[in-house]
Amino acid sequence: MKLTRTLRQNPAMFGLIPFINVLFLVIVFFALSSRFVLLPGIAVTLPFSSFMLAPQRNPQIVSIVAGPAPAVYFHDQKFAPNEFGKALSAIRAKDRTVIVRADRTTPYDLIVAVTNQALQAGFSVVLATSPEQK
């Protein structure tokens, strides 16, 4: 008994199905890859700004957390605001840039104190912000 096909096969489908599969995987990869960007340090809510700076090379990142007792975190260690300068002076880096990631409710005098200690240690200081929400 000879069986015959009632449905004709389209040869273009053999090339189209793997292409759709790869396209779907690329879309999923790019959609999820932006969520895996890790920022070192402590999570803070940055103030908004419409101005953005270019990425810095090998920066030292300092996080300042607001609260009843504001804290300064550097290399995942908690420092008193007046002890931070000593830890920063011990670093011998070629690119001497400090990024200050301060919570938007942090007292301004604490941000200035940390910035002054970084400047005294010979570092240039950049204040981190997040883009304005529309």
Domain-located, residue 15:
no
Q: Looking at the DSSP assignment, which residues form a beta bridge with residue 72? A: 64, 79
Per the domain annotation, does 109 fall within a domain? yes
pLDDT above 70 for 21:
yes
Q: What is the percent of the chain where pLDDT is above 70?
A: 92
- Establish if 59 belongs to a structural domain: yes
129 CB neighbour count, 10 Å cutoff: 17
Kindly state whether residue 6 falls inside one of the protein's structural domains: no
Domain count, the chain: 1
DSSP string, 20-53: HHHHHHHHHHHHHHGGG----S----PPEES--P
Q: Angle at the Cα of 121 (from 119 to 92), degrees rounded to 5? A: 130
Over the stretch 78-112, which tens digit does the pLDDT of each residue have? 888 788 888 888 888 777 889 898 888 888 899 99
What is the rounded distance in angstroms from the CA atom of residue 97 to the CA atom of residue 106?
Answer: 21
Residue 2 lies in a domain: no
Kindly indicate the confidence band of residue 39, based on its pLDDT and cuts at 50, 70 and 90: low
Residue 1 inside a domain? The answer is no
Question: pTM above the 0.75 mark?
Answer: no
CATH of the domain at 61: 3.30.420.270
Which residue range is the domain that position 123 belongs to? 48-131
